Structure 1
Amino acid sequence: MSNWSTLLQSDDYLGVKKYLKEGADVNEKSEHGESVVSQALRLRCSDELLELLVASGADLFDADDEGVSVFDVAITYNNPMMVQKMIDEGIDVNETRRTSGFTPLMAAVCYNRKAIVEMLMSNGANTAIKDKLGLTGADYARKTHRKQMLGLLGEEEGA
């Protein structure tokens, strides 16, 4: 994974293209189970490099050892292009692999990702889903003082 890390840290599109041509595994994982595409998202690589990884077969439905999916990483690191691409590829906007039950909508609310919350909502995000603590996306909006998020979720501040 160190070759991948070096290339991704420098957002080296041509280097990644060459590495792939040499037979690199686009779905290689780090010691913690993080995929190449998740690492690229976390390092805020260019959309062009991300598209190259996807075109080369990067698994957009992958998750790390903690259940954090590529979708979760795209939301956390505010990449609406990749979020939409994964929705277009058929990702379930309500699915979570996290043992806590923390959903993509909850993450988007906590990180104050307005455009992504709107995208999730328009693609069927269920605002009534509760995590293992019994909290909904609106509960997280209240806890993190995200009044604008409450409005997007169709909730009132005091409710």
Structure 2
Amino acid sequence: MNKWLELLKSDDYLGIKKYIKSGADLQETNEAGESVLACALRAGCSMETLMMLIESGADIFDFDDEGVSIFDMAITYDNIHMVSYLIEQGIDVNKTTRKSGFTALMAAACYGRVEIAKMLLEQGADQHAKDSKGFTAIDFARKMNKKSVLELLDYDPNAPKNTNYAR
């Protein structure tokens, strides 16, 4: 995985292309179970590089040992183009593979990804879905003080706060 990480860190498109042609394993994972594609998202690789990885066989439906999916990673790292691409490829915006039940909209709310939150809501994301502790996207946006996301949601500033957040 070290060779992958070195190439991805510098977003070396030609180096990555050459590495793939030499037979590099696109299914290789790091210690956390993150795939090459997930590591590319974390490294901030260009959409051109991400698409080359996908076209070469990287799995867009992959997730790590904690259930964090490629879709989750795209949201976390604010890659709106990848989020859009994954939705076009049929990703269910309400499905989560995370053990905690943390949804895509919760991630967008937590990180203040306004444009991604809009896109998810337009695609039918359930803003009232609850994670395993009973928290919604509204709870996460409120806890993280993401007012611009709260404005998109059915937020009632007079509603009692859910203060049982994980610490």
Q: Same fold (TM over 0.5)?
A: yes
Q: How far apart, CA to CA, are the structure 2 residues paired with 1:31 and 1:138? A: 33
**Structure 2: stretches of 5+ with no match in the other structure:** 160-167
Q: How far apart, CA to CA, are the structure 2 residues paired with 1:8 and 1:144? A: 30
Which amino acid in the other structure matches residue 157 of structure 1? P
Residue 116 of structure 1 corresponds to: 116
**Structure 1: stretches of 5+ with no match in the other structure:** none
Q: How far apart, CA to CA, are the structure 1 residues paired with 2:108 and 2:138? A: 11
Q: How far apart, CA to CA, are the structure 1 residues paired with 2:28 and 2:88? A: 24
Alpha-carbon distance, 1:157 to partner: 2.3
Residue 52 of structure 1 corresponds to: 52
1:90 aligns with 2:86: no
What SS class does the counterpart of residue 151 from structure 2 fall into?
helix
Which amino acid in the other structure matches residue 52 of structure 1? M
Residue 142 of structure 2 corresponds to: 142
Residue 100 of structure 1 corresponds to: 100
Q: CA RMSD in A?
A: 1.0
Residue 65 of structure 2 corresponds to: 65
1:13 aligns with 2:13: yes
In the comparison of the two structures, how many residue pairs are matched? 159
User: Does the CA contact (< 8 Å) of 1:150 and 1:157 recur in 2?
Assistant: no
User: Does the CA contact (< 8 Å) of 1:26 and 1:57 recur in 2?
Assistant: yes
Residue 74 of structure 2 corresponds to: 74
Cα deviation 1:100-147 (Å, max 9, x = unaligned): 111110000010000100111111101111011111101111111122
Structure 1 length-normalised TM: 0.96
Moved over 4 A (4+): none
Identity of aligned residues (%): 56
